Amino acid sequence: MQQAAVWRNCSLHDLPEEEDISRTQNLAHVSQNLSCQKMEGFMHHCHRKLPTLLSRTLFKALKRSYISCTIHTSPLVSVPSKPTIPPPLVSRLFQPSNFREGQEGGDMTCRSQRLMLHTGLIHPSNPGCFYYLPVALRSMEKLVRLIDEEMHAIGGQKIDMPALCSAELWKKSGRWELMGKEMFRLLDRHNAEYCLGPTHEEAVAELFASQTTISYKKLPLLLYQVTRKFRDEQKPKFGLLRGREFYMKDMYSFDINEEAALQTYHSVCQSYGRIFDRLGLTWVQVQAATGNIGGTLSHEFQLPADIGEDQLLVCGNCGFSANIETMEQGQTECSQCQTGTLTESKGIEVGHTFYLGAKYSQAFKALFVNASNVPAVAEMGCFGLGVTRILAASIEVMSSEDAIRWPGCIAPYQVCVLPPKKGSKANEATLVAEKLSQSLGNSLPNLRGEVVLDDRVQMTIGKRLKDAKVLGYPYVVVVGQKALENLPSFEVICQQSGETMFLSKEGLVDLLSKAETI
């Protein structure tokens, strides 16, 4: 917009070539501080001696008086369109494995932590806190979209509650003392007490209670959020599996009575099952203790894994499963079917559901107006999913010792395109690879933004293939000599299944059109 205006006003007799325009597009702002005449000379100048002089001139102009001056009024005619974003280049991805080889920070304690640190998905900060780096964050954002879809499907509505929770709220529920050292506490400048919410039963009950005339017709009401939670763990460990700061999806339900609340409870549990199924995970739902959340019924969703911190008992006969916390010590016979034997196994807890009854709604007077037009206490449930934990736990249970395998639909990128090594016989195929990485993203809606180009062409194909294997891209496309033939073909490695095939462009497009993305 602005740039166009500048070009017009200046009526340049010596318009820069297209290539230069793109280099000089940064000038639009600067131009506004220069008279048209000066601008004209300036542009002319730039045209001749780009890019070194341009940047030097720009530099001075910027230093002198950089500021864009005019008020930009709402553009009525042409609003800028969505920007075109080229395929990410592996050489530019901020994924410290690229930057720093061989070194690893911190104590390695489990497979997912080691793999995630090694491949530059996360970087350690304070104990139990991590930087989530670009590739991991992409995966997490997909996971959040998947969770959003499933929460919406059962009527969930997404909200966002403050992390700062007033001590008053927690005193009302009696949990201010109960939570002990696990809760981060602080004072504000007026010496008012707060905690950093590890969970939000109090806050959501207060929100519900503030609405004084909620009709029974509006229930069940399911409110959820995906936010950062805080827990001052004694010993944070296993990377994202037990951190002090992590992302959690927490849903809270309000129902007219126990019966309805249990139906809602059931519907959320089903939804959790669907989420883990869509991720392709093996999971088990076990009877669990209610801990300091409270309530009368609780289940955990566990991924069986050796490094799991939870001890589970599973009946070989009827399949009854429970966290060992809920069982009598030394119990070996299943009380459910009375015939089976309980076997111990270990799991990583990735979800936890609670039927709360009136524990919080009573304390906060979370009332609705019932069919007889009388205020009544809502029955509540609460439902957590560890978002960052699911991310790490998936890697933990699906990967091999030295290569990540992602749940297909949340892999950070679906496709990695490998051009030939610089100077090799197939050198000319480099252009084919570049075009391919662009055209796949443009022609297949499911691959928009999903294709990366491994442009580190100073490295051999073999070395880059090894990296691609460690990073677990579901599809790796090698563009070599055969891409230059009359009927070009491409080597495709499907890392989820382990298959390798040679495909024509059409075959490749057909295969990749089936890649599942969220």
Contact 476, 465 (CB under 8 A): yes
Q: Using CB under 8 A, pick the residue from 9, 22, 91, 341 that binds a copy of itself.
A: 91
Alpha-carbon gap, residue 173 to 359, rounded angstroms:
8
Contact 303, 324 (CB under 8 A): no
Asked if 166 interacts with a copy of itself (CB under 8 A), we say yes
DSSP secondary structure code for residue 235 in this structure: S
What's the per-residue H, E or C state across 128-141? CCEEECHHHHHHHH
- Which among 28-36, 111-119, 461-469, 470-478 is the span making contact with a copy of itself, rule CB under 8 A? 28-36
Site for a copy of itself in 334-353 (CB under 8 A): 336
- Which among 171-179, 320-328, 377-385, 473-481 is the span making contact with a copy of itself, rule CB under 8 A? 320-328
- Smaller CB separation from a copy of itself, 250 or 491: 250
CB of 152 to a copy of itself, least distance (A): 5
- Smaller CB separation from a copy of itself, 32 or 481: 32
- Smaller CB separation from a copy of itself, 486 or 498: 498
Estimate to the nearest angstrom the gap between the alpha carbon of 385 and the chain centroid: 13
Alpha-carbon gap, residue 228 to 387, rounded angstroms:
9
Site for a copy of itself in 446-465 (CB under 8 A): none
Q: Using CB under 8 A, pick the residue from 38, 53, 131, 178 that binds a copy of itself.
A: 131
Neighbours of 431 (CB within 10 A): 13
Q: Crossing angle of helices 258-278/134-153, nearest 10°?
A: 140
Residue count of the chain, please give it: 518
Site for a copy of itself in 389-428 (CB under 8 A): none
Q: Using CB under 8 A, pick the residue from 20, 41, 285, 324 that binds a copy of itself.
A: 285
Alpha-carbon gap, residue 164 to 442, rounded angstroms:
43
- Which among 164-172, 436-444, 461-469, 507-515 is the span making contact with a copy of itself, rule CB under 8 A? 164-172
CB of 506 to a copy of itself, least distance (A): 24
- Smaller CB separation from a copy of itself, 42 or 230: 230
Instruction: Tokens for 9, please give them.
Output: 């006003």
- Cβ-based neighbours of 171, under 8 Å, separated by 6 or more: none
CB of 263 to a copy of itself, least distance (A): 6
Return the bridge partners of 156, or none: 222
Asked if 117 interacts with a copy of itself (CB under 8 A), we say no
- Which among 42-50, 206-214, 418-426, 482-490 is the span making contact with a copy of itself, rule CB under 8 A? 206-214
Asked if 207 interacts with a copy of itself (CB under 8 A), we say yes
Residues 501, 505, 510, 511: is their CA dihedral positive or negative?
Answer: positive
For residue 287, give the nearest of 385, 233, 355 by alpha carbon.
Answer: 355
Alpha-carbon gap, residue 469 to 277, rounded angstroms:
24
Asked if 103 interacts with a copy of itself (CB under 8 A), we say yes
**Long-range pairs of 424-433 with CB within 8 A, sequence gap ≥ 24:** 425/481, 426/479, 426/480, 426/481, 426/483, 426/484, 428/484, 429/479, 429/480, 429/481, 429/483, 429/484, 430/457, 430/479, 432/479, 432/483, 432/484, 432/488, 433/479, 433/483
CB of 487 to a copy of itself, least distance (A): 34
Site for a copy of itself in 223-282 (CB under 8 A): 223, 227-228, 230, 232, 234, 244-245, 258-260, 262-263, 265-267, 269-270, 273-274, 276-278, 280-282
Query: How far from 298 is each of 37, 311, 340, 353, CA to CA, in Å?
Result: 75, 16, 23, 5
Q: Using CB under 8 A, pick the residue from 48, 49, 92, 435 that binds a copy of itself.
A: 92
Asked if 50 interacts with a copy of itself (CB under 8 A), we say no
- Smaller CB separation from a copy of itself, 12 or 297: 297
Site for a copy of itself in 63-82 (CB under 8 A): 63, 65-75, 79-80, 82
Asked if 158 interacts with a copy of itself (CB under 8 A), we say yes
Site for a copy of itself in 288-317 (CB under 8 A): 297, 299, 304, 314-315
Q: Using CB under 8 A, pick the residue from 12, 28, 50, 494 that binds a copy of itself.
A: 28
Alpha-carbon gap, residue 195 to 468, rounded angstroms:
43
CB of 63 to a copy of itself, least distance (A): 7
How many residues belong to the site for a copy of itself (CB under 8 A)?
A: 131
The three-state secondary structure class of 226 is strand
- Smaller CB separation from a copy of itself, 266 or 435: 266
Q: Using CB under 8 A, pick the residue from 4, 5, 108, 153 that binds a copy of itself.
A: 153
